[in-house]
Structure 1
Amino acid sequence: MEQIDTHTTHLSVRPKPHIGILTFHFSDNYGALMQAYGLREWLLRSGVSAEFINYHPTHVEQGGAFVLGADLRTFKANAKIAFLKLSAFRRFLFGNKRQSLLFEEFRRNMLGVKGIPLRTQIDVERFLSSAEGRFDLIICGSDQIWSPSAQRGLDPTYFAYFPSLTKATRRISYAASFGRDLAGDPAEPQFLKYLGALDAISVREKSGEDFVAKILGCKPNRAPDPTILLADFSPLYANIPVSVESYVFCYALRTGNKIRSAATIVSNELDCSIKSPFNAHRRWREIGSTVYSSPSEWLAAMRDAKFVVTNSFHGAVFSVLLRKPFIVVRLPGTKSPSNDRAINLLHELGLESRLVSGDDPAAIKKLINEPVDWEGCAGKLLELKRVGEDYLRHQICATVK
């Protein structure tokens, strides 16, 4: 049986560069933490020094400050800010405190996050000007760091855009995602400004590649998500006992619509229960029974599942890495543009048939009993991994010349 080669070659570079990472390492979101872990862990296993620049802006999950103005765009921005503030307050009151502590523990022990949170671009610039903030290379990514938000638009910090600092440190992106297809987006002039300041650009999706090529007039590099780059996450869950329970693991983000019915169909066909990890941002009633997993327990729960039903990009990634039979349920309605990431992944792996709508029982039942071509998939994963490794090795070597 062909397996994914998870070996990481040690880079023989002298002096050993010190690398800073800008990404969404602060979110209580399994996929966000796993991609952050994947990039840093790959760098560490390659023999370089790497740490997260502890940028944690309030606008990403807590809304940030309200915006002055009376136009429609400002009204929509303030409506989103108000919603995020209320959601954050609700999580504070009713969220699972134990799980929040487990996420914080993972950030501290497995991501090595340290220092006080840097809330603004100015805070980051001050940190980078200090002795402890001196890096040879800054990597922006991965995750949806380049997705314009309704309340803020683009955040220049996630492009390592620091005009007040001297250009001594190389700045690149790795597998940065725009979250959706941005063709014709009004933020194009800002993208041109920020992207043009990077020394090298790597994006995750084909739509992102096309978007950057249109703006800059040249194609950027494409690289896989850091979870595929690392591939081996077994150290995180190796010591967690294997569950003997038979269950469907349902990992839902953004909505419970459609995926609920899909999980129910799979559960009924396999005659087993449904488990869903608690989502601090969930605004829908639970699907099956809720489990309050740490990031490592989340991986173990997926490892031990009989079948995985997800509407998440990273849910699909880990189904493949762990070789679990799975389906990806399309996000419906206004959330459908976010399907781009999962569609791109499944296309690259030749697994397009695993994408379903939640209201097609016949297609879902067919896929339950249809084996996944893991052997063919392993070769495609290995090629993607090599593309990411070649890009990073080249950038690291260029840094120490």
Structure 2
Amino acid sequence: MKIGILTFWNTPDNYGQMLQCFALQTYLREQGHDTFLVRTGREWRPLSGFIPQLKDKIRSANRLRQYPLFLTGKIFSNLYYLFTHFHLKQYIIERGFDSFRKDYLNCSDKIYSLEELMQNPPQADCFIVGSDQIWNTRDGIYFLSWANDSVKKIAYAASFGGLKGEQEFYNLIRLWLQRFDWISVREQSGVDICKASGRNDVQLVCDPTLLLHSEDYKKLVDPNTVCLPKRKYIFVYLLGTRTHIRMKDVYAYAERKNMDVIYVGSQGVVDKFSRIEPIIGEWINYIANAEMIITNSFHGTVFSILFEKRFMNFLVYGAAIRMNDRIKTILCHLGLENRIFNGELNAIENAIDYERVNKILEADRETSGACLLKNV
């Protein structure tokens, strides 16, 4: 069957976004289906224009207020660059994501707008939306509002991103959801929103990344580029949302344990600590060989579990607090609630019964995969 997949794809730095896209395509291909990513929206481009770049600098400066000396140095450095180059110094993200898409994802030749999808959609026997937070939007693209009635329409592990639905939103998506042949979501809150919108047959399934095993991801690691610290290390992967983690505490803990720290940030992480920007294969390799992992990311948590690591998740707060639902869902389901930071970093040393966890994961993998294949 020819299957078009719609999900987020154009990130320059979100490893989880890329790997969930890779996982769903890979799983379906291994079952004999012809899959391709329907690219929508627009490709990521660095900010252009003085005003947008200046606003970005101000946002970064606001996040650096807790490091006054470091912030002062940054301000003078940027001013010097402005007066010597006559434009703002811009940070360019380059983590090989474009190469990864070309090498591992089968993508549509063109990038579609909603209007183009309505007028001349790509040819497929079935369209699947998911995973990621594709339903944290009022855009009909990811609700397949444009798809012909004769084409099979499926949602796999779709996420509302912890969205708290209101009646207006329920009314908006009600007709769109009724057109789906099968709907599955990633979080319990998604089930509740779908029920409030008139779909009572929604199933809860695992994230696409969990349809594969750690060995499938190790294939993405290039052995010729492997470069790991000589000492044991803590791998830190943070998204730029507010969380109760102090990197100086992490470094102090690592020093006490005679370990290094490998720090990777994405999506707006701004602080004074040194970070690296690995390509996807390197990111996986750092996780696979880490002694411990600290993260505030859902997929950082997923890959910690897939590679059977001792880890600690730092929930986010503020405007992004709704993002915690997906993390709480998977950790509670696996009986790993104690991996949520409660003020004691030493708790990361507590052992995890991965034999028990893996039995649950394998059952989820089989059930979710069987439901998906049954409905395509």
What TM-score does the superposition give when structure 2 sets the normalisation length? 0.83
Distance in 2 between the 1:113 and 1:386 partners? Answer: 27
Out of 173, 178, 181, the position equivalent to 2:160 is 178
Out of 262, 267, 272, the position equivalent to 1:275 is 262
Distance in 2 between the 1:93 and 1:186 partners? Answer: 43
Tell me which residue corresponds to 2:236.
Answer: 250
Tell me which residue corresponds to 1:290.
Answer: 275
1:217 positional shift: 4.9
1:347-362 equivalences in 2 (<5 Å): 347-357=332-342, 360=343
Distance in 2 between the 1:167 and 1:62 partners? Answer: 38
Distance in 1 between the 2:53 and 2:323 partners? Answer: 19
Distance in 1 between the 2:308 and 2:6 partners? Answer: 30
Letter in 2 for 1:218: N
Tell me which residue corresponds to 2:76.
Answer: none
Q: Is the 8 A contact 1:253 1:311 kept in 2?
A: yes
Q: Rate the CA distance shift 1:127–1:324 in 2: closer, same or farther, 3 A.
A: farther
Out of 23, 26, 29, the position equivalent to 1:38 is 23
Tell me which residue corresponds to 1:103.
Answer: 97
Tell me which residue corresponds to 2:217.
Answer: 233
Tell me which residue corresponds to 1:159.
Answer: 143
1:78-89 equivalences in 2 (<5 Å): 87=56
Mark the runs of 5 or more structure 1 residues left unpaired by the alignment.
1-16, 64-81, 149-153, 397-401
Q: Rate the CA distance shift 1:241–1:350 in 2: closer, same or farther, 3 A.
A: same
Tell me which residue corresponds to 1:139.
Answer: 128
Out of 203, 222, 232, the position equivalent to 2:204 is 222
Distance in 1 between the 2:117 and 2:89 partners? Answer: 30
Out of 75, 90, 94, the position equivalent to 1:94 is 90
Q: Is the 8 A contact 1:23 1:36 kept in 2?
A: yes
What TM-score does the superposition give when structure 1 sets the normalisation length? 0.78
Q: Rate the CA distance shift 1:341–1:166 in 2: closer, same or farther, 3 A.
A: closer
Distance in 2 between the 1:61 and 1:216 partners? Answer: 39
SS of the aligned residue for 1:384 comes to: helix
Q: Rate the CA distance shift 1:95–1:217 in 2: closer, same or farther, 3 A.
A: same
Tell me which residue corresponds to 1:328.
Answer: 313
1:43-58 equivalences in 2 (<5 Å): 43-57=28-42
Letter in 1 for 2:136: S
Q: Over the residues paired in the alignment, what is the CA RMSD in angstroms?
A: 2.8
Distance in 2 between the 1:249 and 1:21 partners? Answer: 32
- Does 2:356 match 1:372? no
Distance in 2 between the 1:217 and 1:198 partners? Answer: 10
Distance in 2 between the 1:160 and 1:37 partners? Answer: 21
Deviation readout 1:139-197 (Å, 9 max, x if unpaired): 0000000013xxxxx111001111xx642211110000011042436412112122122
- Does 2:167 match 1:196? no
Deviates more, 1:385-394 or 1:310-319: 385-394
Letter in 1 for 2:123: R
SS of the aligned residue for 1:291 comes to: coil
* Sequence identity percentage: 27
Q: Rate the CA distance shift 1:296–1:325 in 2: closer, same or farther, 3 A.
A: same
Q: Is the 8 A contact 2:35 2:106 kept in 1?
A: no
Q: Rate the CA distance shift 1:204–1:93 in 2: closer, same or farther, 3 A.
A: farther
